[in-house]
Amino acid sequence: MNAVVAAVGIMLILSLCRVHVVVALIAGAMAGGLIGGLGIEGSLAAFNKGLGGGATVALSYALLGAFAVAIGKSGLAHALADKALALVGKQGAQGGGAVKWMMIGLLLAVAVSSQNILPIHIAFIPLLVPPLLFVLSKMKIDRRLIACVLAFGLITPYMFLPVGFGNIFLNEILLANVAKSGVDVTGIIVTQAMLIPAIGMLVGLLIAFYSYRKPREYDLVRVEQLEKTTVTYSPLTLLVAAVAVAAAFVIQLWLDSMILGALAGFVIFSVSGVVRWREADDLFTDGMKVMAMIGFIMIAAAGFAEVMRETGEVKLLVDASTQWIGDSKAVGALLMLLVGLLVTIGIGSSFSTVPIIAAIFVPLGVELGFSPLAIVSLVGTAGALGDGGSPASDSTLGPTAGLNADGQHNHIWDTVVPTFLHYNLPLLAFGWLAAMTL
């Protein structure tokens, strides 16, 4: 059996059985390493080598957690909850429905903007989502829907709009690797190539609205403990919070560092007195605990990905798929998409998947008679497949980081499985359709 298939399969099965994702990643990596011929020592060496690749992201998440707790201390969370609840109470049931869609629209707009207009990626989630949990729970909104909304906003813009992260994925990675592999991409409009797959993502989002339309009960006491609803706030503390958030975003964009941005925001809270000096140490530690699980998953995922690369069987998997295809364009398109899905779910990064699969799939696409536009669409979709639905992807870890702040949102069953079902399956179908029609 191919080591990558075995490793990803073991990791997914253990995760679905509610084994912690970190344990599942380690077990999958060791099994894949053994099957791939690395042995115990080689597998451990590769895993340890890869751990450093996730350290920066993990530290960023930890500091964002501390920053998010400081925002809660300022009373901003309580102010947002009070405002939303006042709107619901003032306008009755109809108003509650309006507020529900307003909040969902806000989260969707911010998620989309985080990929292009204000390219901060998932940094906004631990800052914006936890303050809204009380209102979301009060209105009995199913958090699985919010996870799908956030995942749509994190994935679809970069795979369709060539701006911000989309410019990196579509132009610098996708088109560059397709051209490097021997296809002339001159004159190709990348948005045209990815339009049909993007429509598949939209269809998945609409299905999610139907799937999770029913009210879902959450323990409001636990949410209240998270938001510390007894915290008092004033115009001054809210102003400090606004300045801290703005400073964190500006510094992140300026220096391209979530670490320094979150640290700057926390320092502003401390210097202003919103967070007292004698409380700063405990509060900082509590905040880091909020994001600790996400950080460890990212670190373990980097080790897992390195083991998969060291086995050399990602390329063997791609090569093997070419033997099953024969001369059938339909079978070829489907198998290429499935391989992309498998690789991305394991590695957790669509940006890293495209260079791996393009070297083999582009010449194969030419041989099967696909047009240059269809090849771009096929490789781009194969790369994006699995981003939603991967336990180790930041497109699933980010939403969980915000929605599970009170411990009532399971990463696998409330984020990973819903996003897999609502995005990977439509994307698979629409990606295949795009390859066959372009």
User: Bigger pLDDT: 107 or 320?
Assistant: 107
pLDDT above 90 for 65 = no
Most trustworthy range by pLDDT among 227-236, 243-252, 419-428: 419-428
pLDDT above 60 for 95 = no
What is the average per-residue pLDDT within 100-116? 87
Q: How far apart are CA 305 and CA 29, in angstroms?
A: 8
Least confident of 50-64, 126-140, 180-194, 325-339: 50-64
Residue 272: inside a domain:
yes
pLDDT above 70 for 53 = no
Residue 309: inside a domain:
no
The number of CA neighbours under 13 Å toward the Cβ of 323 is 5
pLDDT above 80 for 43 = yes
- How does pLDDT run across 309-327, given as a tens digit for each residue? 788 877 777 677 667 776 7
Most trustworthy range by pLDDT among 53-62, 71-80, 126-135, 140-149: 140-149
User: Bigger pLDDT: 280 or 421?
Assistant: 421
Whole-number percent of the chain with pLDDT over 70: 89
Q: How far apart are CA 158 and CA 179, in angstroms?
A: 19
- What is the pLDDT at residue 309? 78
Q: 96 Cβ partners below 8 Å, 6+ apart?
A: 88, 139
**Residue 152: how many other CB atoms lie within 10 Å:** 24
- How does pLDDT run across 358-377, given as a tens digit for each residue? 877 888 888 888 999 999 99
Q: Confidence class of residue 437 from pLDDT cuts 50, 70 and 90?
A: very high
> Scanning the structure block, which residue is given the tokens 């000096």?
277
**Nearest 5°: CA angle at 144, between 141 and 145?**
65
Residue 131: inside a domain:
yes
Q: How many domains does the chain have?
A: 1
pLDDT above 90 for 303 = no
Residue 104: inside a domain:
yes
Q: Confidence class of residue 255 from pLDDT cuts 50, 70 and 90?
A: confident
- Residue 375 in tokens: 């090849």
Residue 11: inside a domain:
no
CB 70 within 8 A of CB 56: no
Residue 324: inside a domain:
no
Residue 134: inside a domain:
yes
Global pTM reads 0.80
- What is the pLDDT at residue 93? 46
What is the average per-residue pLDDT within 74-79? 70
Mean pLDDT of the chain: 83
Type of residue numbered 15: S
Look up the domain containing 120 and give its range: 56-159+211-294
User: Bigger pLDDT: 127 or 191?
Assistant: 191
User: Bigger pLDDT: 284 or 27?
Assistant: 27
What is the average per-residue pLDDT within 226-255? 76
pLDDT above 90 for 127 = no
Residue 233: inside a domain:
yes
